[in-house]
Amino acid sequence: MESEKKETLNFIEHIVEEDLASGKHEAIHTRFPPEPNGHLHIGHAKSICLNFGLAERYNGKCNLRFDDTNPEKEDTEYVEAIKEDIKWLGFEWEDREFFASDYFERLYDFAVRLIEKGSAYVDDLSQEAFNELKGTPTQPGRESPFRNRSVEENKSLFDEMKAGKFGNGEKVLRAKIDMSSPNMHMRDPILYRIKHVPHHRTGDAWCIYPTYDFAHGQSDSIEGITHSLCTLEFEVHRPLYEWLIEELGIFPSRQIEFARLNLSYTIVSKRKLLELVEGKYVSGWDDPRMPTISGIRRRGYTPGSIKKFADVVGVARRDGIIDVALLEHAVREDLNKKANRVMGILDPVKLIITNWPEEREELLEATNNPEDESAGTRELPFTRELYIDRADFKEDPPSPRKWFRLGPDREVRLKYAYIVKCTGFKKNGAGEIEEIYAEYDPETKSGQDTSGKKVKGTLGWVSAKHGVNAEVRLYDRLFKTENLNDIEDDFKNHLHESSLQVNQKAILEPSLSSAQVGDQFQFERVGYFIVDPDSVANHLVFNRTITLRDTWAKKTGQ
Ligand code: ATP
Ligand code: MG
């Protein structure tokens, strides 16, 4: 992946370069417009990387705008979380933090302007009654009996709507466009509805709220957004977006649609993710199995890997589904360069070096990161009693050509230490291996090996005396179904039963006793891990970010 250079422009970059070259715009201005009704997910991350990334690339600007026009579902808690997530990804909006609700007054004036032009009217029909008239895509609609109210009447009714004279749903303001348009969004769409609901920022100041279509496009114009990027489902809204700009004679922002990110084995819908949180299927929005930005952050995914992923995925004009293995590959690539290697044994069994004196301790030098020399080295204490992973020993192993690890009379190297030869083992009453015995060869110290011995297997180990016990949370994909867009039944039926396994018995090398929340490591031969905020003094909790097995690299031969 490293070597992949971007040679071609995507269709959005093409448009941007044309607009800059023709002088249509001197600089570009994009925005990321989250609705503060939930936490951001990996799909939003793609949109963030696209909008902020484009502005960075072309020396433009990108605004953060909260699209807060649905007071029932929105909350300041979400606003703060969204900001934290975008910052964590490494993007800056400087002083350009806006709220659609800041524009309520101006949006109201725009609506009045439309009324004055005869391009909007107050409609008394209920939603059901209007739907009766609306027709179907193949059948023209009929006009509301209130469609031809005078400008004066519309103005005073709209005023009264604003003043709180009517109840919820009693009246709406509609654009007066074309009840026989083949595009249903052009059949007199609603611009304002009555909601006697306090807003998280404007309080009780308003009881009428603009619809998405009216607020979004007009906010773009107010901010001078040159390229308003949104997902494909808004393509059918574009004629209305353009109609409103035209009617109001305001800054001509251009809406451009791209395919939303869909990921295999992953849900990217705030509504469904909320359902998982509320139903306690996960521990919260930041459960490390969640595809939310806060979840993948806690899981140990890095901003660099997400940006890289967004870059490789690119933008398309048609919906598709991306293999989650590609994201996981990006995470491994990034962590491989950054994460220090440590010894961590998830399923410990004792290995006793019988020819090593009881009291003797030796400090052995270990490389922190073979991918990064500047990471330096550390010392590992070697003692008579060690732990190795149970899976690294077989009582009755296959041929030495197939099995390089430990077994009776077999030799392996203990990483950074000595070659040891297994001399026996002991089982407990339940028939489980309890202790393994071995002898070390003093001539085989790593880096100073004079024995000429060759062994194929190298095992991780931790001194039993110095090792630290830790809780390790092992995660698998949250869903067991590849394409969750294709299912007909409840998506919750597709949850993976064992997406979390808690391991309380892991033993880690002693240097980890001072690990801090957020520190990331590769447990050699095991996977990448991050220290979880649930850690307390003397009880470290690690999340497994990801295993070392790269199914993407395997599939693509990279
Ligand atoms: P959801 O479908 O999860 O409820 P949304 O589109 O309603 O998401 P918004 O807060 O309105 O969420 O989205 C903010 C921006 O992020 C929008 O521009 C939206 O198009 C974009 N976005 C949302 N989901 C995706 C996705 N899966 N891929 C790319 N962009 C997305
Ligand atoms: Mg939305």
| Cα 520–Cα 553–Cα 323 angle in degrees, nearest 5 | 90
Per-residue pLDDT tens, the chain, 558 aa: give them. 444 455 689 999 999 999 999 999 999 999 999 999 999 999 999 999 999 999 999 999 999 999 999 998 888 999 999 999 999 999 999 999 999 999 999 999 999 999 999 999 999 999 999 999 999 999 999 999 999 999 999 999 999 999 999 999 999 999 999 999 999 999 999 999 999 999 999 999 999 999 999 999 999 999 999 999 999 999 999 999 999 999 999 999 999 999 999 999 999 999 999 999 999 999 999 999 999 999 999 999 999 999 999 999 999 998 899 999 999 999 999 999 999 999 999 999 999 999 999 999 999 999 999 999 999 999 999 999 999 999 999 999 999 899 999 999 999 999 999 999 999 999 999 999 999 999 999 999 999 999 999 999 999 999 999 999 999 999 999 999 999 999 999 999 999 999 999 999 999 999 999 999 999 999 999 999 999 999 998 899 999 999 998 877 777 766
In Å, what is the CA distance from 482 to each residue of 43, 265, 496? 17, 5, 11
What pLDDT, on a 0 to 100 scale, did the predictor assign at position 45?
Answer: 98
SS3 of 83-149: HHHHHHHCCCCCCCEEEHHHHHHHHHHHHHHHHHCCCEEEECCCHHHHHHHHCECCECCCCCCCCCC
Choose which residue among 30, 50, 231, 238 to substitute to test ligand 1 binding: the one with the highest number of ligand atoms within 8 A of its C-beta.
Answer: 231
Of the listed 31, 61, 149, 260, which one is catalytic?
A: 260
User: Measured between alpha carbons, how far is 241 from 250 in angstroms, rounded to an integer?
Assistant: 11
DSSP 327-384: HHHHHHHHHHHHPEEE-EESSEEEEEETTS-TT--EEEEEES-TT-GGG-EEEEEE-S
User: Measured between alpha carbons, how far is 274 from 280 in angstroms, rounded to an integer?
Assistant: 10
Q: Is 477 a catalytic residue?
A: no
pLDDT mean across residues, the chain: 96
What pLDDT, on a 0 to 100 scale, did the predictor assign at position 75?
Answer: 87
Asked whether the beta carbons of 395 and 406 are under 8 A apart, the reply is no
* CA-based nearest residue to 32, from 107, 87, 106, 109: 87
DSSP 3-state of 318: coil
Q: Is 445 a catalytic residue?
A: no
Of the listed 46, 171, 174, 270, which one is catalytic?
A: 270
* Nearest atom in ligand 1 to 36's CA: 10
What pLDDT, on a 0 to 100 scale, did the predictor assign at position 558?
Answer: 60
In Å, what is the CA distance from 386 to each residue of 171, 420, 449? 77, 12, 21
Beta bridge mates, 468: 508
In Å, what is the CA distance from 535 to each residue of 8, 227, 541? 46, 45, 5
Going across the sheet that includes 468-475, the strands are 340-342, 520-523, 527-531, 540-547, 468-475, 500-508, 344-345
Q: How far apart are the first and last CA of the chain?
A: 8
What pLDDT, on a 0 to 100 scale, did the predictor assign at position 6?
Answer: 58
Choose which residue among 44, 64, 266 to substitute to test ligand 1 binding: the one with the highest number of ligand atoms within 8 A of its C-beta.
Answer: 44
What pLDDT, on a 0 to 100 scale, did the predictor assign at position 2?
Answer: 42
Of the listed 35, 328, 509, 524, which one is catalytic?
A: 35
Atom 18 of ligand 1, residue of closest alpha carbon = 230
What pLDDT, on a 0 to 100 scale, did the predictor assign at position 3?
Answer: 44
What pLDDT, on a 0 to 100 scale, did the predictor assign at position 544?
Answer: 98
The runs of H, that is alpha helices, within 381-423 are none
- Ligand 1 pocket list (CB less than 6 A): 33-35, 43-44, 46-47, 230-231, 260-261, 268-271
Considering every ligand atom shown, identify the ligand nearest to the alpha carbon of residue 66 and give its number.
1
Which pair of tokens denotes residue 282?
Answer: 């996960």
pTM of the model: 0.93
Q: Tell me the CA–centroid distance for residue 52 and ligand 1, in Å.
A: 15
DSSP 3-state of 163: helix
CA torsion through residues 18, 23, 25, 27, sign = positive
User: Measured between alpha carbons, how far is 284 from 294 in angstroms, rounded to an integer?
Assistant: 10
Which pair of tokens denotes residue 92?
Answer: 């800056």
* 480-487: Cβ within 8 A, 24+ apart: 480/265, 481/265, 482/264, 482/265, 483/264, 483/321, 484/265, 484/266, 484/267, 485/262, 485/321
What pLDDT, on a 0 to 100 scale, did the predictor assign at position 7?
Answer: 66
C-alpha dihedral, 491 to 497 to 499 to 505, nearest 10°: 160
Tell me whether strands 385-389 and 433-440 are parallel, antiparallel or unpaired: unpaired
Q: Round the CA-based radius of gyration of the chain to a whole number and report it.
A: 31
Greatest distance between any 2 Cα atoms in the chain: 102
Considering every ligand atom shown, identify the ligand nearest to the alpha carbon of residue 232 and give its number.
1
Q: Tell me the CA–centroid distance for residue 431 and ligand 1, in Å.
A: 55
C-alpha dihedral, 191 to 194 to 199 to 202, nearest 10°: 70
CA torsion through residues 165, 170, 173, 176, sign = negative
Tell me whether strands 97-99 and 61-66 are parallel, antiparallel or unpaired: parallel
Atom 10 of ligand 1, residue of closest alpha carbon = 34
Q: Is 270 a catalytic residue?
A: yes
